[in-house]
Amino acid sequence: MTNFCFPKNLGSILQRGRKGQHLAVIGGTLLLLAGCNSLPDSGPTEAQVNHAQRDPKRNAVGYAIVQVSPDLISLLESEAPPLFSSLDQNNTPVNYTHNDTVGPGDILQVSIYEVGSSLFSLSSVNMAASTNAAGGASTIPSTSSGSNLPPLSVDASGNIRVPFVGEIHVAGMTTIQVAEAIRTRLKQKSLSPQVLVRIMADIANSVMVYGGVRRPSRVPLTPNREHILDVIALAGGADHPNQPDEDYVVRLTRNGKIAELPLKTIENTPAQNILMQPGDRVQLTFKPRSYSVFGASGRVTQTQFTTPTLTMAEAISRNGGPIDSRADPNAVYLFRFENADIVRRLGMPIADSATTAPVVYQLDMMNPSSYFLAERFMMRDHDLIYIANASSNRFYKFFSLITTVISPIE
């Protein structure tokens, strides 16, 4: 930072005015301000930012300054999205084909068809005989009956109780396997029993979808093998349909592990649209993206994206750009906690366990080519843009202060 010094006889010069005594006091006050350190600032200059970065005591977070360049833009554009499928690594395809298995909490409807005298006489009906196409003998006995048992609940141990059969462990079975287990036990008590089983309330094969969806609910899974976007759609989709999908974050909880991804990333990356498993919990959260602007800009504020994508050039222009009388266009900074992979590819030191690291990107707006780079530099949620003060800013502030003080006296 350049300190502007003023002549020692500035006070005597000011005393020559028509209001000498008053100006003497003002002159003495201004002499105290001549060191410039007491004048207010909206932030550091480029030199101060660079000096603080090199000073370990002042750079407590360990940030690095990187110039925005074509190579940097290419590096950022090549960044792969974070893996949502990491929760899927230990699964095998067989896990996905059994969304029709029975589990605790399910409600089963059991229908039993018998020949002759029926064990289950309630709701029995006569079934007509049928003949083959050639007019031959009957293929189904002429006297048979069908009964629907009251709904059966699968208890916490995975068992059901069937009249005349007793307790059967059915957890993990398909409906066909449950029907066969009941039929096997009825063989010696009923003549040619036939059993049909269907799941009335499927609790075990379902996922919870909640948060920013229109119909938070338990969504049953089927052998059709629903993916994460399918269950979100079955829950009514996002509750802010006019907002970009980039403003939604999907959190998946599976087997005690949690992963998050923007909804748009899942839509654009098929590998992240993973198959659902029973017991998954999917939370959709509306998180409007925003960025902040500080320093010598037309407006210091926090601004929402409101569009699916936003470039650095658009972000700066929305806030009025650098102020001509105060800003240093050589020093437009973007502060970001960058992903660890990018930091390592930039050759910067970072701990092995770290997922992000602070990086300051610098853009020189006095270079015309930088405007093209700013059009390709994509903004992210919580980015912070700082437009540095010009080093001469305090000089102009000082003389502006003199003008303000002296003008009413004269």
The dihedral over CA atoms of 313, 315, 320, 322, expressed in degrees to the nearest 10, equals: -60
Spatial CA neighbour of 72 closest among 364, 384, 353: 364
- Distances in whole angstroms, Cα of residue 188 to Cα of each of 119, 177, 245, 252, 367: 12, 19, 60, 49, 92
The secondary element (H helix, E strand) that includes residue 327 is strand 327-339
| Per-residue pLDDT reduced to its tens digit, 195-244 | 999 999 888 889 999 999 999 999 999 888 899 999 999 999 999 888 88
pTM: 0.64
Helix axes 393-406, 20-33, angle to 10 degrees: 160
**pLDDT range class, residue 139, cuts 50, 70, 90:** very low
Check pLDDT > 80 for residue 9: no
- The percentage of the chain sitting over the pLDDT mark of 70, rounded to a whole number, equals 74
Comparison of pLDDT for 23 and 231, the residue scoring more = 231
Q: What does the pLDDT look like over 164-173, one tens digit per residue?
A: 889 999 999 9
pLDDT digits (tens, 9 = 90+) for 67-121: 999 999 999 998 876 677 777 655 444 444 467 789 999 999 999 988 876 777 6
Which DSSP symbol is given to 349?
-
Q: What is the mean pLDDT of the chain?
A: 80
Rounded-to-10 torsion of CA 343, 345, 350, 353:
100
Cα 45 to Cα 394: distance, rounded to the nearest angstrom? 11
pLDDT in tens, 179-188: 999 999 988 8
pLDDT digits (tens, 9 = 90+) for 374-395: 999 999 999 999 999 887 555 4
pLDDT in tens, 355-374: 999 999 999 999 999 999 99
pLDDT digits (tens, 9 = 90+) for 255-287: 888 888 889 889 988 888 999 998 999 999 999
Sorting pLDDT into bands at 50, 70 and 90, what band is 297?
Answer: confident
